[in-house]
Structure 1
Amino acid sequence: MNLRPKLRSPPLSTASSPASPPLLLHNTKSTIPNMPRKSFLKPTLTLACLLSLFALCSFLFYTPLPHYNNNTNTNTKINENNFRTVDGINKKVRIYMYDLPRRFTYGVIENYAAARGGQSVADDALLKYPGNQHSAEWYLFTDLKRPSGERVDSAVIRVMDPEEADLFYVPFFSSLSLVVNPIRPATVNASLDRPVYNDEQTQEALMELLEEQVYWKRNNGWDHVFICQDPNALYKVIDGVKNGVLLVSDFGRLGRDQASLVKDVILPYSHRINTYKGDIGIENRKSLLFFMGNRYRKEGGKIRDLLFQVLENEKGVIIKHGAQSRESRRAASQGMHTSKFCLHPAGDTPSACRLFDAIVSLCVPVIVSDYIELPFEDVIDYRKIAVFVDSNTAVRPGKLVKLLRGVSQERILEFQKELKKVKRYFEYEDPNGTVKEIWHQVSSKLPLIKLMSNRDKRIVMRDLRESDCSCLCSNQSGVHTIL
């Protein structure tokens, strides 16, 4: 990389070179007669003194003029739009939420319920979004629909005129759309008047709708925000929306030219077990390590079976195979609330909801996932709340248990204390929690969005055989054991 050359000041004159001529802006040799040195310095010093006195007076007595805004009700607008002030006024990011046809929002919920034998309702307000780990799309949608007065200290403000918007939010329930039809076909409530829901067709219809919008075309989609929290959400059209800000749980199913930490935002899953209401302490946490979840997974999640093999007979370790159900969640709550450490191995992709279950349980997460990305790392130092162990170390017989038994009680209490401080970031229903932080993360992408939009407009040719520099791979470094 070519570095910009440093600017160097000319060397200072020294007593050893008194004859060095002064630097002149113009050639004045023919117009300035030779003068004694004393007569040249006297007026110069006098002028310098006068200028210094003038500068001092200006500094002491100058009052800056007020900044006027041409809009009426200036004070009201400033109070409404300002978010943080650092060396001046920093306005909230203005976000416009598309008023999508019902099929992309409430219609997805309705189809999900109908596929499970639910009854149709006359009012969308009566529809209930199903509780699952990908419900961030519902929380963001309902947050933007709330009156601005209820969204205190949010980093974004919703605008109803797209011409005023900095960003455009596309509220398609992409994760729920993916699982509308149950895995077991026998449970699908299909009939002639209600065909089976088709997620791929819905994705394609969304893409067609967006491509007709002037605001999509204007900046090639860079200023659009999509939520696709399930690793497979929007898979059919991901190449069409990859310029936008993607709200994802990890990069497990996304290519290097589709997503990156630079332009996208990592979201936490919604925790599925009850938040621990007690205080820090280990007196009631008799188990050393706890895990309950699917033993057999695909891809990176194959490590789960290896961990079962080396841990299931270890003293003080509770490791159980269990699918999602109310009974399983109750057992998981009990186990996490009474254990010092909670195991978090990779699932089908690097992340899984059990990490966030552990955090709200004040159960120190033990993360065995070499390529995991974590939410909100600009405000959370995960080394203070979790133990990271690389996969090769974790599956060595006796190694993981020995490592955890070597952690002192004082260190466990320190972990718990930090967990209690940050757990609000993983509570979607907390007004000062997850949703607020997601919007903060989204708003921080605006300078990059403007950069990429302007860059796109001036590029006349690019070599499409190579990856664009707008997407950077984030999974280059290895994972080490950290305590």
Structure 2
Amino acid sequence: MPRKSLLKPALTTLFLLLLSSYFIFIAFFSPNPNLNSFVSRENVINSPTVKVYMYDLPRKFTYGVIESYAMARGGIKAPVDDDSLLTYPGNQHSAEWHLFSDLNRVDRVNSAVTRVFDPEQADLFYVPFFSSLSLVVNPIRPAATATEGRVVYNDEEMQEGLIGWLEEQGYWKRNNGWDHVFVCQDPNALFKVVDRVKNGVLLVSDFGRLGRDQASLVKDVILPYSHRIRSFGGDAGVESRESLLFFMGNRYRKEGGKVRDLLFQILGNEEGVTIKHGAQSRESRRAASLGMHTSKFCLHPAGDTPSACRLFDAIVSLCVPVIVSDYVELPFEDVIDYRKIAVFVDTSSAVKPGYLIKLLRRVSTERILEFQQELKKVKRYFEYEDPNGTVKEIWRQVSLKLPLIKLMINRDKRLVKREFPEPDCSCLCSNQSGIHTTL
């Protein structure tokens, strides 16, 4: 009996994987070899077909979050009457702002989704809660804020309030949330309510703190962090890149990021290597820009979760990323072959004394130039400000989920009872595969 009870989830998983692969194959491959190029297949989508309705959330979930952040840090002294006076703070999790701003533009063209203002016309419903910013609104010393007579912001209450508001909406209840899209880019964003929104399309940076029954590559989209350093404006070349390997960031991280401390110990005295401990600040970003722009390779170890923002800083710097993170998921892998732009090293090999440096010193100048040329090709995918960049690609990725969403909606409605001893594998989590050294 136990073996038989697990058969249905396994078959469901296999069926959905094959279905997802089929739709991706049909949408993006053709007999024309020119379409199999490394760059995006933009010509496949000539006009918007997927209709998105963006909820008009109560202000406290959008501009109110920005306002609370600014007040907590002294940027403004009191609530404002004009939302245009509010500026979303620069941080690595700003995808939520860029997507919100994009849907509010009147001059949107060549996007895979079009905004509709009648929910009856919508294929998907976008929930524009600034969940990552909400997570960090509280000032460093909330007690000081309380003594000044201000109400201390509470992210958990905001999450609960959002769900309470959603559950009153007919379109949320109609399809059990399958056709709703949430951005929760910070690994802890929406942590309190993620089980209640897990049916939806989650826009995340990785699956590090999400369960197998909450997130997967089949239904969700991996987002790049916003790069925090200036892009490199020059061409491919190694003449001005005298340093072999560069890293600047927090040395001490939790969970998978513990490899950083080991790498600091191993690489700290190696010739041609710059590895520095540094927190986020304007001065640190200037130093990181200089370091990445003058180095051949940039180290990308795991952070508290498998991904970290320095990968995307490296890409826009044309500094070849060296990825040391065994379970990392990467954005837009249907159009980007990361083997052409990065070196992958498994953690156990990377922490062997001398291994990493010997590996990188063997890379020829010609190979480094090949990496850099490919980095230039894909650089725009990681530029949120580029009209043909990150936001456009995110919406394309979201649009690809629609056939699966319709399948799950119809399947959900006809299922009367589920008797699975384990979670029904309606989605496939694939962040458990190993990583291997490639050059």
Normalization by structure 1: what TM-score? 0.81
CA shift digits 1:243-277 (9 cap, x unpaired): 00000000000000000000000000000000000
**8 Å contact 2:325–2:347 — kept in the other structure?**
yes
Of 127, 132, 151, 2:91 maps to 132
CA distance in 2, matches of 1:234, 1:152: 31
Question: What's 2:56 paired with?
Answer: 99
Write the distance in 2 (CA, Å) between the matches of 1:194 and 1:184: 13
Which of these residues, 104, 122, 137, is aligned with residue 145 of structure 1? Answer: 104
Match of 1:398? Answer: 354
The alignment partner of 1:189 has SS state of helix
Matches within 5 A, 1:18-57: none
Percentage identity across paired residues of the two chains: 80
1:388 matched to 2:344? yes
Distance in 1 of aligned mates of 2:359 and 2:146: 53
Query: What are the Cα deviations for residues 321-342 of structure 1, in whole angstroms up to 9, with x where unaligned?
Result: 0000001000000000000000
Give yes or no for contact 1:250–1:372 (8 Å, CA) kept in 2: yes
Match in the other structure for 2:123: 166
Contact 1:95/1:166 (CA < 8 Å) preserved in 2?
yes
1:358 maps to: 314
Q: Which residue identity is paired with 2:352?
A: R
Residue 230 (1) aligns with residue 189 (2): no
Q: Distance in 1 between matches of 2:140 and 2:208?
A: 22
User: Is the Cα contact below 8 Å between 1:84 and 1:91 reproduced in 2?
Assistant: no
Give 1:363's aligned amino acid.
C
**Partners of 1:322 and 1:90 in 2: how far apart?**
45
Alignment of 1:5-404 (within 5 A): 92-119=49-76, 120=78, 121-147=80-106, 150-185=107-142, 189-190=145-146, 193-404=149-360
Separation in structure 2 between the aligned mates of residue 270 and residue 449 of structure 1, nearest angstrom: 28
Distance in 1 of aligned mates of 2:123 and 2:201: 13
Aligned length, in residue pairs: 399
Deviations along 1:399-426, one digit per CA (max 9) or x if unpaired, are 0000000000000000000000000000
Residue correspondence of structure 1 range 462-481 to structure 2 within 5 A: 462-481=418-437
Q: Cα deviations across residues 160-190 of structure 1 (Å, max 9, x unaligned)?
A: 000000000000000000000123446x533
TM-aligned CA deviation for residue 85 of structure 1: 6.1
Q: Matches of 2:418 and 2:342 in 1, distance apart?
A: 43
> Contact 2:129–2:183 (CA<8 Å) still a contact in 1?
yes
Which letter does structure 2 place at the counterpart of 1:424? R
Higher relative contact order, chain-length normalized (CA < 8 Å, sep 6+)? 2
Equivalent pair of 1:363/1:416 in contact (CA under 8 Å): yes
- Superposed CA offset, 1:434-474 (max 9, x none): 00000000000000000000000000111253121212221
Separation (CA, whole Å) in 1 of partners of 2:421 and 2:150: 45
Question: Contact between 2:131 and 2:184, CA under 8 Å: does it hold in 1?
Answer: yes
**CA–CA distance in structure 2, aligned partners of residues 182 and 287 of structure 1:** 38
SS across alignment from 1:221: coil
Counterpart Cα distance in 2 of 1:259 and 1:195:
34
Whichever residue aligns with residue 289 of structure 1, its letter is L
Taking structure 2 as the reference length, what is the TM-score of the superposition? 0.88
* Contact 1:286/1:340 (8 A) holds in 2: yes
The letter for the 1-side match of 2:127 is V
Could you list the runs of 5+ residues in structure 1 that have no partner in the other structure? 4-82
Cα offsets for 1:264-302 (capped at 9, x unmatched): 000000000000001100000000000000000000000
Q: Which runs of 5+ in 2 are unaligned?
A: 1-6, 12-41
Q: CA deviation at 1:191?
A: 5.0
- Give yes or no for contact 1:117–1:189 (8 Å, CA) kept in 2: no
Q: Secondary structure at the match of 2:146?
A: coil
Distance 1:113 1:90 in 2: 39
Partners of 2:147 and 2:385 in 1: how far apart? 37
Amino acid at match of 1:311: L
Matches of 1:391 and 1:136, distance apart in 2: 29
Structure 1's consecutive aligned runs of 4 or more residues displaced over 4 angstroms after TM superposition are 83-86
RMSD across aligned positions (CA): 1.7
Letter of the aligned partner of 1:108 in structure 2?
V
Q: Is the 8 A contact 2:47 2:112 kept in 1?
A: no
Q: Which has the larger radius of gyration?
A: 1
Aligned mates of 2:153, 2:368 — CA distance in 1: 48
Task: Work out the CA distance in 1 between the residues paired with 2:198 and 2:294.
Answer: 43
SS in 1 for 2:215: coil
> Which secondary structure does the structure 1 equivalent of 2:286 belong to?
helix
Q: Helix, strand or coil for the counterpart of 2:53?
A: strand
Check whether the contact 2:55–2:127 (CA below 8 A) recurs between aligned residues.
Answer: yes
Deviation at 1:381, TM superposition (A): 0.2
What's the CA shift for 1:476? 3.1
